[in-house]
Amino acid sequence: MVSERQLEAIKGAKVLMVGAGGIGCELLKTLALSGFQDIHIIDMDTIEVSNLNRQFLFRQSHVGQSKAKVARDAVLKFRPQMSITAHHANVKDPKFNVEFFKQFNVVLNGLDNLDARRHVNRLCLAADVPLVESGTTGFLGQVTVHVKGKTECYECQPKPAPKTYPVCTITSTPSKFVHCIVWAKDLLFAKLFGDRNQENDLNVRSSDAASSSDHAEDVFVRRKDEDIDPYGRRIYDHVFGYNIEVASSNEETWKNRNRPKPIYSADVMPENLTEQNGNVAKNCVVDTSSVSAMASLGLKNPQDTWTLLESSRIFLEALKLFFAKREKEIGNLSFDKDDQLAVEFVTAAANIRAASFGISLHSLFEAKGIAGNIVHAVATTNAIIAGLIVIEAIKVLLKDTDKYRMTYCLEHITKKMLLMPVEPYEPNKSCYVCSETPLSLEINTSRSKLRDFVEKIVKAKLGINFPLIMHGSNLLYEVGDDLDEVEVANYAANLEKVLSQLPSPVTNGTMLTVEDLQQELTCNINIKHREEFDEEKEPDGMLLSGWTQAPPAKDDKQSMNDKQSIGNGGDSSNALQTEPADAVKDGEMEEISEPSGKKRKLSEGSKASILDATDGTRNHKEVEKLDDDDDDDVVMFDDLDSMTNKKKRLQ
């Protein structure tokens, strides 16, 4: 039963919901049925057919429409007295600034990617608004509470980088099907249908080209008036035949490995079999989402594993369809897991390469999951997590700090529990977001350009969207609509200069200040010059450090084994023993943190009420997009006036 105090807090609350996908649909429904009256929803996505199996507020007729708006309309049908404001927009849009966030009592996240989560976390910190985070992946889920100054923020623990593979493994010595998928998606698909001017590690020299000529023909370029069938076979023979022959000729490489077998199109299917593939009309108006090589060839079940012959036919048919029906897109395409033809092409190419290297072939369904980093959604998990979000949101509204819990939804009963509550951790003093701890960057200041620093560190690692970079009182780089032409030209010129040659040189020992005006985040970075980097282990040519996992509290002497667990009874020590997944769910970004670490107390005042902790070394593990819904870095200005003026620019 809801108490009068709880009911009053619920009815008077103004709630911001970010994300209206799998978790978001369940959350909006639960908020409405719990009595919440004023809700804003932000989601930039539109409804897709694949969403309908779990995002129950949507119907077939809604495909292509705004998720936020359709979710609002669906809930208003059974709760017409509510005030629900839908924003079909990106939460990173400038209009959703700190002032916008300040109007809410609590923010509830149902997001799908690390970048957006970090952005919302920083805005909540700047606005001093509590944040309830969530994530699911298959049967696993979690809900965490983040309150400024009381609990750790979302970024207090470093998030693991997306899984990467050495280029040499992908191009020369694949041993797993995922290696073949990465090759087909990031190299072959990108080379054929993406920007051909981008660097690519595929061998483009054909067997009949001049052996060492710098002007040898790029085999991937379609010759003038060349029919698609011979072009397709030429590509097939080059990447699965000639390139494999070249790779297998290195005796040293295959001394302790199984040597791959070249596959040529004529070995798999005769010339006339290509002609039996589907006939397609060129340049007709067509819905690209309906273009399918499987349909053309009469293959229906995506869970069937194709044979080498079927994979070869799909490969050539998909190539033909791209040139016949989507030729205008060629040169600008990037792989999309929701692009049926792209998934078919990548699956077929990966299977042919797998056959060459003696790796098991996979179905389209399996390959799509690997290529799109997908763990297929479970609607029930979303519903459970949505309920837990609302429970924590009510605690936040009542300011029941001692009752906040991080709750983990487990796949199997562990210690007599399927839901494992853990008390929140205190803020990490080494967190660059909610603390004032400077970071350290090892970089070759004589070789790396400012552009490298901006793209690889400021944006990619720190998640800063509107960077302002200063060396002391000297402004090295800034973005903004209010900059004049001279400033824009100066900053553009700085981007192309190596760090040591900037107007205010950046060398060993330099302290750079990086600020994001929208997020109201400031970060100091200490530069350390380093000459050489390992290209395989440190491909960026720089190493960011200083953002470390918080050490256990020194006065926390009582281990989990000495304490009583919250919930169903029993000990929750090491309860969640899951392997880190390299995937995200087919709908929301799914991130699972593993609660297996030393407890850090919130405060002396809350000590008596805390019953649950975990033992050992705390290690957050996260599933990353590792970015796609429905798909994963402080010192203040001394000059207050200059800071205020810069903030006004953004507004």
Q: What is the DSSP string of 219-245?
A: TTSPPTT--HHHHHHHHHIIIIIIHHH
Residue 603 has pLDDT above 70, yes or no: no
Residue 216 has pLDDT above 90, yes or no: no
Q: How far apart are the first and last CA of the chain?
A: 45
Token readout for 305 is: 């594993």
pLDDT (0 to 100) of residue 137: 87
Helix H or strand E encompassing 27: helix 22-34
pLDDT (0 to 100) of residue 548: 60
β-pairing, 140-146 with 131-137?
Answer: antiparallel
pLDDT (0 to 100) of residue 283: 45
Token readout for 365 is: 């369904």
- Residue holding tokens 């007295």? 81
When pLDDT is averaged across residues 133-150 and rounded to a whole number, the result is 94
When pLDDT is averaged across residues 562-588 and rounded to a whole number, the result is 34
pLDDT digits (tens, 9 = 90+) for 353-369: 999 999 999 999 999 98
Residue 581 has pLDDT above 50, yes or no: no
pLDDT digits (tens, 9 = 90+) for 49-63: 878 889 999 999 998
Which of 353-367, 551-565, 613-627: highest mean pLDDT? 353-367
Which of 104-108, 269-273, 482-486, 632-636 has the weakest average pLDDT? 632-636
pLDDT digits (tens, 9 = 90+) for 262-308: 999 998 987 665 555 544 444 444 455 568 999 999 998 999 999 99
pLDDT (0 to 100) of residue 50: 77
Residue 394 has pLDDT above 90, yes or no: yes
Q: CA dihedral defined by 258, 259, 264, 266, rounded to 10 degrees?
A: -70
Instruction: Check if 180 is active-site.
Output: no
Helix H or strand E encompassing 365: helix 364-371
Query: pLDDT confidence of 414, banded at 50, 70, 90?
Result: confident
pLDDT digits (tens, 9 = 90+) for 170-210: 888 899 999 999 999 999 999 999 887 777 777 666 555 44
Q: Of 25, 124, 153, 168, which is the active-site residue?
A: 168
pLDDT greater at residue 419 or residue 557: 419
Q: How many residues does the chain have?
A: 651
When pLDDT is averaged across residues 232-261 and rounded to a whole number, the result is 89
Q: Which of 224, 260, 228 is nearest to 245 (CA)?
A: 260
How far is the CA of 342 from the CAs of 92, 198, 304, 336, 578, in angstroms?
Answer: 29, 19, 18, 7, 32
pLDDT digits (tens, 9 = 90+) for 339-352: 999 999 999 999 99
| DSSP-H helix ranges across 172-213 | 177-182, 190-193
Mention every residue, 6+ apart, whose C-beta is less than 8 A from residue 213: none
pLDDT (0 to 100) of residue 552: 46
State phi, psi for 191 to the nearest 5 degrees.
-70, -40
Which of 58-72, 280-294, 521-535 has the weakest average pLDDT? 280-294
When pLDDT is averaged across residues 474-485 and rounded to a whole number, the result is 89
pLDDT (0 to 100) of residue 624: 33
pLDDT (0 to 100) of residue 176: 92
Residue 605 has pLDDT above 60, yes or no: no
Residue 214 has pLDDT above 90, yes or no: no
pLDDT digits (tens, 9 = 90+) for 108-139: 999 988 889 999 999 999 999 999 999 998 89
* Average pLDDT taken over every residue of the chain: 80
Of all residues in the chain, the percent with pLDDT exceeding 70 is 77
Residue 474 has pLDDT above 80, yes or no: yes
pLDDT (0 to 100) of residue 549: 52
Q: Which of 111, 23, 29 is nearest to 74 (CA)?
A: 29
